[in-house]
Amino acid sequence: MNQPYDTLEQNFGYALSGAQRNRVLRNTYWLLAISMVPTILGAWIGVETGVAAIFNGIMGFVLMLAGMFGFIYAIERTKNSAAGVPVLLGFTFFMGLILSRLIGHVLGFRNGAELVMTAFGGTAGVFFVMASLATVIKRDLSGMGKWLFVGVIILLVASVINVFLGSSALMLAMSVISMAIFSAYMLYDLKQIIDGGETNYISATLALYLDIINVFQTLLSLLGIFGGDRD
């Protein structure tokens, strides 16, 4: 007797759930687009002033990690408050400063500006492909998370080791692996939003932003290594 009502209630619940997921995805895309503004500003200031030189060397590397993890902690603490968005945008400005070291180096090539634009276009292409895959893949990808996290930890440890070794071969290997891991992470994070696994758009934006920045940085490094044209 109550079956039609129960069915309607369940369908209505699914509709609300779908609406909420779409809202999180929409807000995430908007905030992600806005976050690129302070990133570009930070990168420009870093290139023009050379202030990012403070991140050189072992102490600079420690300072960079401390700043990054400090911001990430602050974002997670404030993601449910009005301070969440400004803290996130402050983090993206900080990341722009960090990126300015690599961008400034690549711009030293004769075709540097072209390489930067190619890396930007390539990153946008990877994002488009992963976003498209996330909408058509029906399989639950939540199990990927732990393996990708292990991969990131290995990359981080390798990065610390390479600060002391300064090995070009290790850096190249890490770049290739990083490209694969963060492209997969992009798919994973997008799928989490679409499936309702991530309900906070600030956390979702942070995750996707880190994926995009890492893909861009890795792609730009590889382009600089293989396509840099010195005078």
Q: Which domain covers residue 115, as residue numbers?
A: 3-227
Using alpha carbons, select from 227, 221, 230 the residue that is nearest to residue 110. Answer: 230
Query: What's the confidence (pLDDT) of residue 122?
Result: 93
- Three-state DSSP at 167 gives coil
Nearest to 100 by CA among 216, 227, 211: 216
Number of domains in the chain: 1
- The answer to whether residue 165 scores a pLDDT higher than 80 is no
- In this structure, are residues 40 and 89 in contact, taking their beta carbons and an 8 Å threshold? no
Instruction: Work out the average pLDDT over 20-45.
Output: 91
Q: What are phi and psi of 208, to 5 degrees?
A: -70, -35
Q: DSSP labels for 65-115?
A: HHHHHHHHHHHHHHTTSTTHHHHHHHHHHHHHHHHHHHHHHHHTSTTHHHH
Q: 188-206: per-residue pLDDT in tens?
A: 999 988 887 888 999 999 9
Q: Which of 88, 124, 108, 99 is nearest to 43 (CA)?
A: 99
C-alpha span between 162 and 165 (Å, rounded) = 5
Q: Give me the pLDDT at residue 60, please.
A: 79
% of the chain surpassing 90 pLDDT: 43
Q: Which of 112, 75, 117 is nearest to 95 (CA)?
A: 75
What average pLDDT does the segment 119-131 reach?
93
Question: 7 falls in which pLDDT band (50, 70, 90)?
Answer: very low
Please report how many Cα atoms fall inside a 13 Å half-sphere around the Cα of residue 150, on the Cβ side.
5
In the numeric block, the tokens 């069915």 are attached to 7
Q: What is the mean pLDDT of the chain?
A: 84
DSSP 50: -
Q: Do residues 100 and 46 make contact, with C-beta atoms less than 8 angstroms apart?
A: yes
Closest residue by Cα to residue 79 from 69, 88, 66: 88
